[in-house]
Amino acid sequence: MTPRRWIIVIAAFILMMVISAGILRTALHFWHQWQLASLVNGPPPSDEVLTTDDSLTALNKRASQAERSHEYQRAVDLYTQGLEESSYGADARRALLRQRAFAYENLKQYDRAEADYNASLQIEPLDPSFYAKRGFYLIRRGRYDDALADFRQGGELVPSDGTFPFGEGEVYAKLGQHEKSVERYSEAIRWTPQAGRYYRERGSAYNRLGKFKEAKTDYDKALALARGYIQREAADSNLGRGYASLRLGHYQDAIADFDAVLRVMPRSSAALAWRGTAYQSLGKSNEAVADFKAALAIDPKNANAMDGLKSFGVPAP
């Protein structure tokens, strides 16, 4: 082979190597992106019990299947079976107790549910987050003083965890002490500034205090952080912001928020009634009357809708 041909062959070989390397880099890039997406998004949720599942995973899947079918006693039996297995560690046992407590709660066996929360706090080493978990359970049971004590106990153990002051804020909100709830929500936000729910609940407290500008600012922040929110939670923020905008006289903004709510919750009588008020304030009588009637078709006792129709001299349906 002549020297010229050798040069051509070598050049072609080098070119092929460069092209192959580029293709390989591209393929690796897309494979890496796919793998990253899988890690971030996770596989589709499934409770199918696989032969490769370990015993605890299989048990939890069977219990979840039972709960989705409202077979709560079967779920209790499965979690009890897991708790009888001595090889599971502290974290697994606490998780089983909490899940069994949920099942007991669905069965309205509240003493047993509380006993499981109590037992989870007796497992060493102590997991302070279970003070918050028991605290939220106690809120659901209307035992606000006991719930407050749990959140304070947990906060003393882990002062930097915003969950505990947030729980206190929830207690004060239930008690109608909205100034105190704002203070505790603000403390929760100080420690966990990326928690959209904390802003949403503080916005709700501001609305109840008539501080609509502050409420709107908090709902703006909650919605800005809403990536990954379930639709219902985002809609709750839209509802609160819409109400704040309505009271601030920003009627078009209010209507846009109520529209967003109704796309997710088309039977929200509050959104319909408040949107009717916004339309009425803009002089759009037909739209207002239609919304008031729609709100009353869902909730015949909606006072805002009844007052709205009365102001037009239109009888309630």
Q: Tens of pLDDT along 189-235? A: 999 999 999 999 999 999 999 999 999 999 999 999 987 666 888 99
Residue 313 binned pLDDT confidence (cut-offs 50, 70, 90): very high
- Residues 44-87 have pLDDT tens digits of 334 566 656 689 999 999 999 999 999 999 999 999 999 999 89
How does residue 316 score in pLDDT terms, banded at 50, 70 and 90? Answer: confident
- Return the pLDDT at 317: 82
Q: Which helix (H) or strand (E) holds 310?
A: helix 303-311
Q: What pLDDT digit, counting tens, does each position of 148-183 carry?
A: 999 999 999 999 999 999 999 999 999 999 999 999
Clarify whether residues 150 and 123 are in a common domain: no
Same domain, residue pair 113 and 136? no
Does any domain span residue 42? no
- Angle CA(116)–CA(135)–CA(87) in degrees, nearest 5? 30
Q: Please report whether residue 3 resides in a domain.
A: no
* Boundary-marking domain end, from 108, 127, 146: 127
pLDDT band (50, 70, 90) for residue 8:
low
Domain boundary, last residue among 189, 224, 259: 224
pLDDT digits (tens, 9 = 90+) for 94-109: 999 999 999 999 999 9
Choose the final residue of a domain: 207, 224, 241: 224
Neighbours of 51 (CB within 10 A): 5
Name the pTM for this structure: 0.81
CATH number reported for the structural domain that contains residue 284 in this entry: 1.25.40.10
Domain count, the chain: 3
Query: Structural domain of residue 108, as residue ranges?
Result: 54-127
